């Protein structure tokens, strides 16, 4: 009987603390957070798939990426030099 009285008191405190409005707000917050978590999990899965694709390509792909990066940087440097040269010639 004492356990039931304690449980009733606990439930009364909970119902006083968490009104129906507060419960609904908490439910909305939880739903939004769960939605955000699902989106992040989907994004993580896509990233894992992309990563595994790159890993399958191997070291040759890494070498090509490095070469491409160097060529792109060299091209940008030459464009900058051309712009500066054109400015100086005016």
Question: pLDDT (tens digit, 9 = 90+) per residue, 43-71?
Answer: 999 999 999 988 888 888 889 999 999 99
In this model, does residue 37 exceed pLDDT 90?
yes
**pLDDT, position 58:** 84
**pLDDT, position 34:** 96
Instruction: Indicate the pTM of the whole model.
Output: 0.51
Residues 6+ away with beta carbon under 8 Å from 54? 61
Quickly count: other Cβ atoms within 10 Å of residue 61's Cβ: 13
Q: Is 90 helix (H, G, I), strand (E, B) or coil?
A: coil
User: Is the alpha carbon torsion for 64, 68, 69, 70 positive or negative?
Assistant: positive
Asked if 54 contacts 61 with a C-beta cutoff of 8 angstroms, the reply is: yes
Q: How far apart are CA 24 and CA 28, in angstroms?
A: 6
């Amino acid at each position: 009987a004492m356990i039931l009285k304690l449980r009733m008191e606990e439930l009364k405190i909970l119902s006083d603390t968490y009104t129906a409005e507060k419960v609904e707000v908490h439910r909305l917050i939880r739903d939004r957070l769960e939605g955000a978590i699902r989106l992040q999990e989907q994004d993580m899965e896509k990233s894992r798939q992309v990563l595994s694709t790159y890993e399958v390509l191997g070291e040759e792909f890494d070498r090509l990426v490095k070469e491409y990066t160097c060529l792109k940087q060299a091209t940008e440097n030459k464009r900058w030099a051309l712009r500066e040269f054109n400015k100086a010639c005016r």
